[in-house]
Structure 1
């Protein structure tokens, strides 16, 4: 077994709470001709053999996630009568059993569904490229590094970069404010059932900006136009090393991007400021936010609104014809309230806005306002921010009150000493006292999950991770758990 990366561990904690499909990474490929099922079966098997992570499961060892060999093989299955693509996309994974990828053929349509724990957006292109090569009888160049090599390199980067990332975020991180869109207030940062709105945002090519930077600035300007004084969006970023993308894996993170849209600034000026903030953040993206900000409570999304943007190449050819690829297939769940996913093929930006039930009344409006902002920006980048978005909130939004601080718990009882022994063992520090703060001791969400697992195993005491953020001491945890 290999210990999961820091990013994988955080995702595992968030994904373990429910059988959500918010972490499914589906790829839907429709062939121009009826595929050779036997050859496609062999090609899928060859891809799985080439990329060992596709044969993985995620297991719990005393609160730490490890990659282990799956109990079964990830082979191609031909769908039976009555089965649908939609049902396949939403079928849950058993993380502890694996494998964490499935291949199912529906006539000319291949559905490959992987879990984000072992797969990211770039992995879709890698998988499809290698699958086409094997199908054509080609043998791809051997991979230079194994999954174990990649995880070891990730751990080394984390160890080397964590202190600098913690210093960077210490002056920048603030809990995201609720997001106003129209007369609705969005606060969701967890995962749940959702719907999707498909559209094509008219992202222009502007001097000094990438299309991604232009789109992100337009999103912030749109939200600013709805009356949000400070805008925070979660942004998906790749943590892969520069160079050719050759391996399948989960090399991605989500980090927050903050802005305070100045109504009197031109869009070009505002976008340049946002671009500078992005570029300042990029050197620290190898460190998950939860490892840089110790008191960061685990959430499925960094902010209620998140953005994922990726460039894609031409679709590979099977039997001499290009396949039709849906890079943004929807598996029925959303992380946060509004989750914008976009792919850019060099000509057109295709987007899917995933939205929660709370955001359903305003999702289409948000997309329309964003497109309006982009249209105006394309015509006149010097347009002031105040003149870009629509009418903003149609009625004053009632912002939710901040949650009251948790009351200080009374000292615990008989279980304090055995729980304290677990803390001392996990930290390797025998001087820890019952009122010492977990985060002041250098702990984080990983430390908390290790303590939780050992408390459950040795004491039969089941505590959720949020308790550690509300009551981060031994006395607090024991008392909050109802132990006397």
Structure 2
């Protein structure tokens, strides 16, 4: 059933950015995607039926958007078939074909905004990618969707799978509640308090560090990237060091990023955006949608030269910041810098995006009946931050991916920032050893 409602704050901001990019002749595939290699026989007809059933279960996948009117139309499109790609000359060609299908733009005006891609390489191996427009799905939602698809596929092939639980709170209902809260007197007061706390910092916190080019008219799609690994022993030492201060290892990593920004920016107060899941409501457990948002975390390393004092200060700032994380970031931008809503950021801000091990464990292994899965490396799209950091925690350490705008920073400048972070982490692991 088609349902129309006012777009969310996240929707409005992202749709504006998409239109701005299109005017420059650029497309950023702002897609959430889960690429896998499936090992074992796959019934493609059964998968197609399961995919149709999942699109009906999650009608947000059949959405369309009216950017000019700021409207979101849920269930506007008909369910689509699985996209089956032919195998090419070799694995590299097949991977390129999958990447192309993942990157392909969605028709936002008419929908749908999701696709399921398969490329059978043999009777025992299939490249697979579940792709959604971020407007209706975030990283956590991909876990919901793949679990549902696996269960529906199991039903189609007669595997013993439990029935799917009901969806208690829809993404549409969440957006209605959020829009109403922001428009209410209490919501406006909360945003005003948050804006006052960030006075002088901003909703999009400018954080230029050594080497910043100050170039204007930068090409946001021009990115550099590198990946680093923090080993298990260092992560264990940091967890132990943070425990008496009621901080996790990831908290210390975020604090070390703040320290590095302080040292390389000569600013008394530093700030990053912090990604939040916004899934505190139990009724959202089985719901797919774009719940993730950002909030601004500021600290003052210069006021607290001793590590324990600074880290207690940082913890207090984390708690205060998370208290306001239910407020959509674009609503804060609209209050503090309305011209920036729906635009790519013109100031160099820095992000901290973490995937703690608790999230990994809550998801568990991906279990599609009759096949075994392994990761397939397909990464698309780019972040609008000048320096975006992604921290993925597992049992053996933390993998850190760092992206940066090459028009603003040379690779050596961003590597210097990382080296400062890593040096700080080793120092704290030694200095704060219990």
Q: TM-score, normalised to structure 2's length? A: 0.78
Matches within 5 A, 1:193-204: 193-202=222-231, 203=235, 204=238
Give the Cα separation in 2 of the matches to 1:186 and 1:334: 18
Aligned residue pair count: 380
Paired residues of 1:190 and 1:300 also in contact (CA < 8 A): no
Give the Cα separation in 1 of the matches to 2:195 and 2:311: 21
Among candidates 283, 300, 303, match of residue 323 of structure 2: 283
Larger RCO (CA within 8 A; separation ≥ 6): 2
Among candidates 54, 63, 86, match of residue 56 of structure 1: 63
Q: Does 1:169 align with 2:195?
A: yes
> C-alpha displacement at 1:178, in angstroms?
4.2
Give the Cα separation in 2 of the matches to 1:307 and 1:363: 14
- CA 1:22–1:380: 2 relative to 1, 3 Å: farther
Paired residues of 2:51 and 2:149 also in contact (CA < 8 A): yes
Q: Does 1:10 align with 2:13?
A: yes
Paired residues of 1:315 and 1:322 also in contact (CA < 8 A): no
SS at match of 2:151: helix
Q: Does 1:106 align with 2:145?
A: no
- CA 1:266–1:78: 2 relative to 1, 3 Å: farther
- CA 1:369–1:84: 2 relative to 1, 3 Å: farther
Query: Bigger radius of gyration, 1 or 2?
Result: 1
**Which portions of structure 1, spanning 4 or more consecutive aligned residues, are displaced by more than 4 angstroms?**
185-191
Give the Cα separation in 1 of the matches to 2:45 and 2:320: 50
> C-alpha displacement at 1:246, in angstroms?
1.3
Q: Which residue of 2 aligns with 1:73?
A: 79
Measured on the aligned residues, the alpha-carbon RMSD in Å equals 2.9
Q: Per-residue CA shift, 1:389-434, capped at 9, x if unaligned?
A: xxxxxxxxxxxxxxxxxxxxxxxxxxxxxxxxxxxxxxxxxxxxxx
- CA 1:100–1:268: 2 relative to 1, 3 Å: farther
> C-alpha displacement at 1:249, in angstroms?
0.3
Paired residues of 2:113 and 2:133 also in contact (CA < 8 A): yes
- CA 1:300–1:33: 2 relative to 1, 3 Å: farther
Q: Which residue of 2 aligns with 1:235?
A: 274
- CA 1:228–1:34: 2 relative to 1, 3 Å: farther
> C-alpha displacement at 1:134, in angstroms?
2.1
Q: Per-residue CA shift, 1:244-266, capped at 9, x if unaligned?
A: 62110011222221222228623
Give the Cα separation in 2 of the matches to 1:115 and 1:126: 15
Give the Cα separation in 2 of the matches to 1:157 and 1:380: 45
- CA 1:323–1:132: 2 relative to 1, 3 Å: same
The structure with more helix, counted as a fraction of residues: 2
SS at match of 1:18: helix
SS at match of 1:355: strand
Give the Cα separation in 1 of the matches to 2:310 and 2:370: 47
Paired residues of 1:186 and 1:337 also in contact (CA < 8 A): no
Among candidates 394, 397, 416, match of residue 348 of structure 1: 397
Q: Per-residue CA shift, 1:365-393, capped at 9, x if unaligned?
A: 4334433332332233379xxxxxxxxxx
Q: Greater shift after overlay, 161-170 or 250-259? A: 161-170
Which residues of structure 2 form unaligned runs of 5+? Answer: 121-125, 156-160
